[in-house]
Amino acid sequence: MLFDDKQLKRRGFLLGAASLTTMLAGCATVNQPAPTPAIARRPIGPPGEAEMITRYAGLEDGGHKLPAVPFQQIDPKFYRQRVEDPTGEPAGTVVVDTPSKFLYVVEPGGTAMRYGVGLGRAGFAWQGEGIIQWRQKWPRWKPPAEMIARQPELEKYSVENGGQEPGPSNPLGARALYIFQNSQDTLYRLHGTKEWSSIGKSVSSGCVRLINQDVIDLYERVPYKARIVVKQ
């Protein structure tokens, strides 16, 4: 079938118009605003058995060896786990709930990482708000004069004597976070312990203690000068 010049021109115009329409439609699609991504929801609750074995396995850290924790002998509610944030505090805040013996690190998106803790007399002695002024890996322990007065055998670990060498047997464990208020040391500490059986309990001495594997994790999540709230 043959087309004359007019028919060919008309056919070319119609094809060109169709292509332009398609191209414009494509541009309109490309220029549509992209949907705003939702905040990723992290898994809530305690991890599975395999993850728990890995989480509380023995490890070497800073030249020190830590034994595995028999987590099966600890109440599961005190396992490190992500929960719906019950604190209402801004992300990045550390919250110590002393009656429940939980410590929370508030995360974006309405969740918090929760740790079980053990509390001693000093752990119940302070409340309010402060900041984590100092953090230390494998700290030295320097008992205060009041403690040495009650337990003279601790004199060898006094400030004057340089404190106790770092290590798994040190009462401050693998990490210590030092709490200040109004630029003053509160003598309130978050620290590790080898005494995993004390988690969730009130013990004779110390501040707020966590399983060494948990305090190592906490140390990585809590920045220098983080805000801390301690609730009685």
Are the CB atoms for 106 and 92 separated by under 8 Å? yes
CA dihedral 20, 22, 26, 28 (to 10 degrees): 70
Q: Which of 69, 207, 226, 230 is catalytic?
A: 207
CA–CA separation, 17 and 117 (whole Å): 72
Give the CA distances from residue 75 to residues 71, 72, 78, 116, 200, in Å, rounded to whole numbers and listed in that order.
8, 8, 6, 9, 8
Q: Output b/e per residue, 4-41; b: 16+ Cβ within 10 A.
A: eeeeeeeeeeeeeeeeeeeeeeeeeeeeeeeeeeeeee
Catalytic residue check, 27? no
Q: Which of 101, 191, 194, 209 is catalytic?
A: 191
Catalytic residue check, 64? no
Where would I find the H helices in 108-227? 121-125, 145-150, 212-221
Reference 228, options 81, 117, 104; nearest CA is 104
Active site residues: 191, 207
